[in-house]
Amino acid sequence: MLGEGILKGLGETARNFVGSYVSAERLTTVQYPEERAPHIEATRDFPFLVYDGTDWEAGLRCVACQICEKECPPKCIYIVKSTDKKPDAFGKPQIYPTRFDIDISVCMSCQICVEVCPFEAIKMDTEFELSTTDRFGGLLYDRKELAKSNEHYHKIHPTEAAEVDARLAEEKVKVDAKARAVAAAAAAKAAAGPAQAPAHITPKLAAAAAEGDKQE
Amino acid sequence: MSIVFYVIAGLSVAGALAAVLLKNTVHCALALTLAFAGLALLFLELDAQFAGFAQILVYIGAVAILVVFAILLTRGSETPHETVYSRNPLVGLVTAAAIFAVLGWAVLHSSQALPGPAGTPTAEPQVTVMDIGNALMGRYVLPLEIVALLLTAALIGAVIVAMHEKEAAR
Amino acid sequence: MIEKADQVFVLLSHWLVSFLPSALQPAAAVLLSVVAIIVTFPALFAISVLLERKGLGRMQNRYGPNRVGPFGIFQPVADGVKALIKEDIVPFRADAVVHFLAPVFLVVVVFMGYAVLPMGRNMTLVNMDAGLLFFFAIGASTELSVFMAGWSSRNKYSLLGAMRAVAQMISYEVPLLMSSVAVVMITGSLSLGKIVDAQNRYTYGLPHWYVFTPWGFAGFVLFAIAAMAETNRSPFDLPEGESELVAGYFTEYSGFKFALFFLGEYVGMMGISGLAATLFLGGWSAPFSWLGWVPSWFWFFAKVMLAMCIFIWVRGTLPRLRQDQLMNFAWKFVLPLTFLNLMVAGLWRFMGEGWLRWLVCSAILLLAYTLMGRNGMRSDHIGPRSYRYAD
| Chain B neighbors of C134, CB-CB under 8 A | 49, 53
Asked if B50 lies within 8 A of C163 by C-beta distance, the reply is no
* C195 pLDDT tier (thresholds 50, 70, 90): very high
Work out the average pLDDT over A127-153.
88
Work out the average pLDDT over C82-96.
87
Higher pLDDT, residue C227 or C376: C227
3-state SS, one letter per residue, for A120-149? CCEEECCCCCCCCCCCCCCCEECHHHHEEE
| Chain B neighbors of C98, CB-CB under 8 A | 26-27, 30
Nearest CB neighbour to A29, from listed C62, C317, C373: C62
Selected for mutation to probe chain C from B33, B65, B78 (highest C CB count within 10 Å) is B65
State yes or no: pLDDT of B132 exceeds 50.
yes
Asked if C373 lies within 8 A of A3 by C-beta distance, the reply is yes
Query: Residue C22, class by beta-carbon neighbours within 10 Å (0-12 exposed, 13-18 middle, 19+ buried)?
Result: exposed
Work out the average pLDDT over B61-76.
82
**Which of A77-81, A147-151, C63-67 has the highest average model confidence (pLDDT)?**
A77-81
* C157 pLDDT tier (thresholds 50, 70, 90): confident
Q: Is B45 inside any structural domain?
A: yes
Backbone angles phi, psi at A77, to 5 degrees: -105, 135
State yes or no: pLDDT of A216 exceeds 50.
no
Asked if A10 lies within 8 A of C314 by C-beta distance, the reply is yes
pLDDT at C271: 94
Residue whose C-alpha is closest to residue C102's, from C158, C156, C48: C158
pLDDT at B1: 67
Higher pLDDT, residue B1 or A181: A181
Distance from first CA to last CA of chain C, Å, rounded?
74
The complex's ipTM works out to: 0.81
Higher pLDDT, residue C53 or C245: C53
∠ CA(B97), CA(B98), CA(B99), 5° rounding?
95
Cβ(C151)–Cβ(C98) under 8 Å? yes
Query: Residue B123, class by beta-carbon neighbours within 10 Å (0-12 exposed, 13-18 middle, 19+ buried)?
Result: exposed
Cβ(A105)–Cβ(A139) under 8 Å? yes
| Chain C neighbors of A2, CB-CB under 8 A | 369-370, 373-374, 377
Higher pLDDT, residue C1 or A44: A44
Work out the average pLDDT over C328-345.
92
Please report the DSSP string for B82-137 in residue order. Answer: S-SS-S-HHHHHHHHHHHHHHHHHHHHHHHHHSS-TT-PPP-PPP--HHHHHHHHH
Domain-wise residue ranges, chain A: 47-156, 165-215
Residue-wise pLDDT tens digits, C275-296? 999 999 988 888 888 888 888 8
Work out the average pLDDT over A196-207.
56
Residue whose C-alpha is closest to residue A56's, from A88, A31, A33: A88
Cβ(C243)–Cβ(C161) under 8 Å? no
pLDDT at C275: 94
Work out the average pLDDT over B48-74.
86
Least CA distance to C60: which residue of chain A? A16
Q: Name the residue range of residue B144's domain.
A: 127-170
Assessment of whether the complete model's pTM goes beyond 0.90: no
How distant is the Cα of C81 from the closest Cα of chain B, in angstroms? 33
* A208 pLDDT tier (thresholds 50, 70, 90): low
Residue whose C-alpha is closest to residue C102's, from C177, C38, C176, C166: C166
In eight-state DSSP terms, residue A60 is: B
**C315: how many CB neighbours lie within 10 A of its CB?**
19
Length of chain C, in residues = 391
State how many domains chain B has: 2
Least CA distance to C152: which residue of chain B? B26
Q: Is B90 inside any structural domain?
A: no
Report the neighbours of C using a cutoff of 3 or more CB pairs below 8 angstroms. Answer: A, B
| Whole-angstrom distance, CA of residue C94 vs CA of residue C158 | 12
Computed over every residue of chain C, the mean pLDDT equals 87
| Chain C neighbors of A16, CB-CB under 8 A | 58-61
Second CATH level (architecture) for the domain A47-156: 2-Layer Sandwich (3.30)
Q: Is B103 inside any structural domain?
A: no
Q: Is B108 inside any structural domain?
A: no
- Is B in contact with A (3 or more beta carbon pairs below 8 Å)? no
Cβ(B21)–Cβ(B38) under 8 Å? no
State yes or no: pLDDT of B146 exceeds 90.
yes
Asked if B65 lies within 8 A of C163 by C-beta distance, the reply is no
pLDDT at C347: 92
Asked if A9 lies within 8 A of C317 by C-beta distance, the reply is yes
Higher pLDDT, residue C136 or A211: C136
∠ CA(B62), CA(C34), CA(B32), 5° rounding?
25
| Whole-angstrom distance, CA of residue C36 vs CA of residue C32 | 6
Most distant CA atoms of chain B, gap in Å:
68
How distant is the Cα of B17 from the closest Cα of chain C, in angstroms? 18
Length of chain B, in residues = 170
Render the burial of C356-370: b for 16+ CB within 10 Å, e for the rest: ebeeebbebbeebbe
Residues 7-66 of A with CB under 8 A from C: 9-10, 12-14, 16-17, 20-21, 26-29, 31
Long-range contacts at B76-81 (CB < 8 A, ≥ 24 apart):
B76/B25, B77/B24, B77/B25, B77/B26, B77/C151, B79/B23, B79/B24, B80/B23, B80/B25
Work out the average pLDDT over A23-47.
86
Nearest CB neighbour to B60, from listed C98, C129, C141: C141
State yes or no: pLDDT of B144 exceeds 50.
yes
| Chain C neighbors of A28, CB-CB under 8 A | 61-62
Selected for mutation to probe chain A from C51, C56, C59 (highest A CB count within 10 Å) is C59
CB contact A112 to C (< 8 Å):
no
Q: Which amino acid appears at position A193 of this protein?
A: G
B3 lies in the same domain as B75: yes
State yes or no: pLDDT of B115 exceeds 70.
no
pLDDT at C339: 94
| Whole-angstrom distance, CA of residue C95 vs CA of residue B24 | 10
pLDDT at B36: 94
pLDDT at B81: 62
Selected for mutation to probe chain C from A1, A2, A31, A34 (highest C CB count within 10 Å) is A2
- Is B in contact with C (3 or more beta carbon pairs below 8 Å)? yes
Asked if B49 lies within 8 A of C128 by C-beta distance, the reply is yes
pLDDT at C50: 93
How distant is the Cα of B113 from the closest Cα of chain C, in angstroms? 29
B4 lies in the same domain as B72: yes
| Chain A neighbors of C318, CB-CB under 8 A | 6, 9
| Whole-angstrom distance, CA of residue B51 vs CA of residue A127 | 74
